[in-house]
Structure 1
């Protein structure tokens, strides 16, 4: 069996498309089809069912997927280990994080990072729901949820406090008593598919009957709505602090906080490039006032 055939198999399994696989691997669609056919021939079994909506794994394909991902992980771990022995802070580093952290914390600080480490190319991946550290999709991650994998090096580097905010104008136009801070005020809420998010859960638990003036699917949209004077929203303090027109309606000690975790591969601890990125992330987290007393 050719490892390259497994690469094609994994990409088709993940994209469910020959066209997307061809684009991702920079080959022709016929090459993808030929590789899949070769793999099915060597295994003497059908791995995919071709439907008009895409390519879907058969039961045999699901079994192959499990083993293929194990092989992929071991190969990537070997590649990371070998590249991690280079003590020069140079090369590409893949950083996985939330869009919020990328936009409001990391990217604004990158000019300073680039000046300090001109030979490091940072690749920021914000689609963290599809990023697997165990598959080595990223070299390092800054996350709000602590991973469970034992093979990863995990370090708590800070804490993000959230509070309820409104624009200065909105709060002045809609005064409310301190004991009932949402009285006569509307809130920007999350679309039900995002109900698992801490801010959505907090609102549902503490103010289930608060009138929604806007339903959004991103923090960027919620922030824009608050700035526009539409209503109140739960926002991270470090982001709201960057907006001079925002005011606190409910302070953080009455809302919630989230721990911030730095995640790396154990075999990359000797890598100068990964260590440089990790140290820089810890630095900017501290500068943003997000460091907790237990870091």
Structure 2
């Protein structure tokens, strides 16, 4: 039976042990920090690889077969040995160092993350940051990136991470055009020109709203990135739905309505399971989670920007900061 074991890793033994301890998949998934479907799929792959069934499926839960009991006993021994080695190495782990590749959308980098990354570098000068600007999912298994920072309600199942905030969106206009923004009526908005994300981002609800509710001749400007939305509104091209952490940081913009939860998206810090215990990855995730939590109410549109709360990068030349 040595050959079937050849491609099994510690995470596979951990999964088997978690299912055995929890006697079911949902609780095991919660323990492992992954989705229920991921545990189901991986357990099936392990059983196929071993050529034997490890669990009997009952209405009351998952019960170990004799082969499963042997695997759990082996998992327990491995766990004890790994823990013992970990205790010996405690206190001797090297300081975080080396290159850390981080992928994030341009809008998050420019409008939110840059000051945080600068502070991280001050704290961990031995870590070199390699930032990959992308809105597309990268293959963290192939080290296209070590950490992904994404606004999504559906993070990839093969990654692990933390949901650190929920990004709020609201409708914004130029302050000079709306001296009394709280008194704006729907009839006034119907006469306005609009700025919108491009049709290539048509799956986003803000884009669908414009497509379904704004006359085509009133959509004056489209852009395929969140990065340029606020600048277009500041320039007077039209009104637009913008993330609150971008719109509220600009005195030249005003909200024309409260944040709409239907447009909000979770902000995730993600990494590959094999990388989460890397000193530089763990240090980065812990640091960034703490920084974002400090500004969470602002990101979620609950407070206005305080002068000292969050350093905001200078606006591009010609724009009002």
Q: Which of the five TM-score ranges fits, normalised by the shorter chain? A: 0.5 to 0.7
CA contact (8 A) 1:227 1:245 kept: yes
Which whole-Å deviations, capped at 9, do the CAs of 1:65-113 have from their partners, x for residues lacking one? xxxxxxxxxxxxxxxxxxxx96421111111111111111111222211
Relative contact order, higher structure (CA 8 A, sep 6+): 1
- Using the TM superposition, give the Cα deviation of residue 174 of structure 1 relative to its aligned residue in structure 2, in angstroms: 9.8
Query: How many residue pairs get matched?
Result: 206
Q: Give the TM-score, by structure 1 length.
A: 0.63
CA contact (8 A) 1:163 1:255 kept: no
Residue 176 (structure 2) aligns with: 169
CA contact (8 A) 2:116 2:288 kept: no
Matched, 1:109 2:109: no
Residue 266 (structure 1) aligns with: 273
Matched residue SS, 2:143: coil
Residue 202 (structure 1) aligns with: 209
Matched, 1:147 2:155: yes
Which whole-Å deviations, capped at 9, do the CAs of 1:147-188 have from their partners, x for residues lacking one? 3333x2132111000001011112249997434462321111
CA contact (8 A) 2:181 2:256 kept: no
- What is the distance in 2 between the residues matched to 1:175 and 1:273? 46
Matched, 1:138 2:139: no
**Alignment RMSD (CA, Å):** 2.6
Residue 234 (structure 1) aligns with: 241
Residue 277 (structure 1) aligns with: 284
Which whole-Å deviations, capped at 9, do the CAs of 1:195-222 have from their partners, x for residues lacking one? 22342123334x2437112222222322
- What is the distance in 2 between the residues matched to 1:184 and 1:172? 16
**Residues 239 and 177 of structure 1, relative CA distance in 2, 3 Å threshold:** closer
CA contact (8 A) 1:86 1:271 kept: no
Q: Give the TM-score, by structure 2 length.
A: 0.58
Matched residue SS, 1:250: coil
- Using the TM superposition, give the Cα deviation of residue 131 of structure 1 relative to its aligned residue in structure 2, in angstroms: 2.0
Gaps of 5+ in 1: 1-84
- What is the distance in 2 between the residues matched to 1:260 and 1:287? 14
Find 1:217's aligned residue among 209, 221, 224. 224
**Residues 147 and 254 of structure 1, relative CA distance in 2, 3 Å threshold:** closer
More divergent stretch after superposition (179-188 vs 169-178): 169-178
- Write the mapping of 1:1-295 to structure 2, written as runs, cut at 5 A: 87-129=94-136, 131-145=138-152, 146-150=154-158, 152-172=159-179, 177-180=184-187, 182-205=189-212, 207-209=213-215, 211-253=218-260, 256-289=263-296
